[in-house]
Structure 1
Amino acid sequence: MSSKLALPSSQNSQLYVGLLSSVAASCMFAFLPWYIHQFPLEPNSGNWLAAQRIVWSCLLMLIGLGLMKQLPLIVSQLVNVKAWPRLMVASILVGLQFWLFIWAPANGQTLPVALGYFSLPLVLVLVGRFVYQERLSRVQWVAVCVAGLGVAYAYLMADGLSWVVLLVAFGYPLYFMLRRKYPLPSHIAFTVDNLLLLPLAIVYLLLNDGVSVEQSQIVSFYNHSPWLYYFGLGIAGTVPMLLFLLASNHLPLSLFGLMGYLEPVLVFSVGWLLGERLSAEQWPTYILIVLALLLLAIDGSRRGFKRKASVSLN
């Protein structure tokens, strides 16, 4: 007996890989702000750390690709002069996100970044639905509406619409749309993006003398082995981004967008463990987003049971 609910095993495996990659990326991204705050933050710290992240990400990726004997794939992309315009646009779009994620905490822009990441999943859902004609289940639509209420409430509590919010909410969707039009393996795309940003990072580092390490929680560590901190920053910024790109390649854009709400919840959890607390007016946003995530989990479990039942009937 066959069932229309049954999905090809390859499609199921892609879905599971995408979901696991998305969850793992969110967990690791939640760790990154904590790691960044171990550095002595001052106004120019964000630019310095963003440049260091690019340099060390390039180094790590080139070593990894060299061990896997895949460096020729990078060369083939870079020597294709006709591809340079779209490669440059993609690297600028994602480079702005790399920079903003590190620059914002050092410049008092954490709230606008949070609002941008709250808005991003909704923008991805709309792009998936109306650009790629992806369909959402009823439960997923309810989750979208619930999350939308949380985001709308957060905007009401904020002081206007910042350029930071717009950059996050619309920059990433444009990047993912470009990557879908010109698909590349996630590790190749990430390496090419960083290599194209590398000259800017090197020039910035050469023209600046670094940052002060006064009152740092890791003063002695930083003074003796600053490269270890930057190496850790490279790992903390590289691995989750690779998983993030892998998830975007394996999930429908709408579902990928909704899964993005896991990250701010995890960031909140990390902040809670570090002693940070929400004000009374912030609770409704997080409660609604957690509710949306629970709805997605219920919908995913329900679909999983249906698939197992359909397979057992075949």
Structure 2
Amino acid sequence: MSGADTPVTTSSDEGQERLGTLFGLGAYLLWGVFPLYFRLLEPAGAVEIVVHRVLWSLLVCLVVLAVVRDVSWVRPLLRRPRSLLTLGVAAVFIAVNWGVYVYAVNAGHVVEAALGYFINPIVTVLVGVLVLRERLRRLQWAAVAFGLVAVVVLTVDYGRPPWIALLLAVSFATYGLMKKRVGVGLGALASLTSETVLLAPVAAVALIWLEATGRGTFAESAPGHGLLLASTGVATAVPLLLFAASARRVPLVTIGLLQFLTPVLQAAVRRAAAR
């Protein structure tokens, strides 16, 4: 192979990949403690929590945008319908992931939710290898193989098809793929703002319906419960911004391998809470 054919990796590229890895670590560490957080939001149901996550996340994004005064990305994005469609698909899949996960945690299916986060890295890595043509090193293949064995053992022990786990894994892997498709041209904050803007009309209608029919819980145990629901904006936006920043900088297979941190941390959190 000639020197011209050899890919050149600059120190800048390596620095960006290290930064992306750190962002990914931050996101997955935060997601690892989410089971404890969502328990605090009861008696709100899965739909209500997802609706609040969308609307409060959008508010957080708009406040940050107002502070940094950066809306220069809006017009170029509106002229790129393919990117808008990709963000729309990403928004749908992350909303599905949120709803399924909150339902699983609050309905007592925590084991299956955790299993979903063991399956998720494998699905994400497969998407990176098969769809994006990314490559794994030997140690990375070993990690995937170890994770696959763990998934098989946990699934057999569970005793039935883990539909919740599979839906969690596929929805988040698809979300990760869409974030890669958007590319580096759209920043993490711009990307998340766009997703929440696209989801906001449906979320607003759902919230109005919940409150009008008496199914909403925002006013219960005021002001504590309402403030907790409002805190979903920060709790949702921060790890998603970290994830988006990571997805722009590192291969999808790296993101997949980092995802093993979340179920391990969730298992540790559950064990500590049970004592």
| Alignment partner of 1:113 is 2:110 | no
3-state SS of 1:71 partner: coil
Counterpart of 1:252? 251
User: Which amino acid in the other structure matches residue 259 of structure 1?
Assistant: L
Pairwise CA distance, 1:72: 4.2
User: Which amino acid in the other structure matches residue 62 of structure 1?
Assistant: L
Counterpart of 1:95? 95
Percent sequence identity over aligned pairs: 27
Contact 2:17 2:250 in 1 (8 A): yes
Contact 1:94 1:193 in 2 (8 A): no
User: Which amino acid in the other structure matches residue 53 of structure 2?
Assistant: R
Decide whether aligned partners of structure 1 residues 75 and 158 sit closer, same or farther in structure 2, where only a CA change above 3 A counts. Answer: farther
Contact 1:32 1:237 in 2 (8 A): no
Structure 2 runs not aligned, ≥5 long: 1-5
Counterpart of 1:155? 155
3-state SS of 2:248 partner: helix
| Alignment partner of 1:21 is 2:23 | yes
CA distance in structure 2 between the aligned counterparts of 1:137 and 1:267, rounded to whole angstroms: 27
Pairwise CA distance, 1:82: 6.0
3-state SS of 2:144 partner: helix
Counterpart of 1:188? 190
Contact 2:86 2:181 in 1 (8 A): no
User: Which amino acid in the other structure matches residue 203 of structure 1?
Assistant: V
Aligned length: 264
Structure showing greater Rg: 1
Q: Deviations over 1:176-231 (max 9, x none)?
A: 22332232222211111111111111111111134569xxxxx8xx4234442123
| Alignment partner of 1:237 is 2:243 | no
TM-score with structure 1 length normalisation?
0.76
Structure 1 window deviating more from structure 2 (105-114 vs 81-90): it is 81-90
Decide whether aligned partners of structure 1 residues 77 and 226 sit closer, same or farther in structure 2, where only a CA change above 3 A counts. Answer: farther
CA distance in structure 1 between the aligned counterparts of 2:34 and 2:168, rounded to whole angstroms: 17
- For residues 75-86 of structure 1, what are the structure 2 equivalents within 5 Å? 76-78=76-78, 83-86=83-86
Decide whether aligned partners of structure 1 residues 83 and 133 sit closer, same or farther in structure 2, where only a CA change above 3 A counts. Answer: closer
Pairwise CA distance, 1:174: 2.3
Contact 2:124 2:173 in 1 (8 A): yes
Counterpart of 2:124? 124
Pairwise CA distance, 1:86: 3.2
Structure 1 runs not aligned, ≥5 long: 214-218, 277-314
TM-score with structure 2 length normalisation?
0.86
Contact 1:29 1:263 in 2 (8 A): yes
Contact 1:104 1:110 in 2 (8 A): yes
Contact 1:55 1:202 in 2 (8 A): yes
Pairwise CA distance, 1:81: 5.3
CA distance in structure 2 between the aligned counterparts of 1:126 and 1:100, rounded to whole angstroms: 22
Pairwise CA distance, 1:240: 0.8
Q: Deviations over 1:160-182 (max 9, x none)?
A: 22432232222222222233223
Decide whether aligned partners of structure 1 residues 108 and 37 sit closer, same or farther in structure 2, where only a CA change above 3 A counts. Answer: same
User: Which amino acid in the other structure matches residue 254 of structure 1?
Assistant: V
Pairwise CA distance, 1:84: 4.4
Decide whether aligned partners of structure 1 residues 72 and 115 sit closer, same or farther in structure 2, where only a CA change above 3 A counts. Answer: same
Counterpart of 1:146? 146
RMSD of equivalent CA atoms? 2.5
Counterpart of 1:58? 58
Structure 1 window deviating more from structure 2 (148-157 vs 133-142): it is 133-142
Counterpart of 1:282? none
Decide whether aligned partners of structure 1 residues 254 and 237 sit closer, same or farther in structure 2, where only a CA change above 3 A counts. Answer: same
CA distance in structure 2 between the aligned counterparts of 1:266 and 1:10, rounded to whole angstroms: 31
Decide whether aligned partners of structure 1 residues 269 and 74 sit closer, same or farther in structure 2, where only a CA change above 3 A counts. Answer: farther
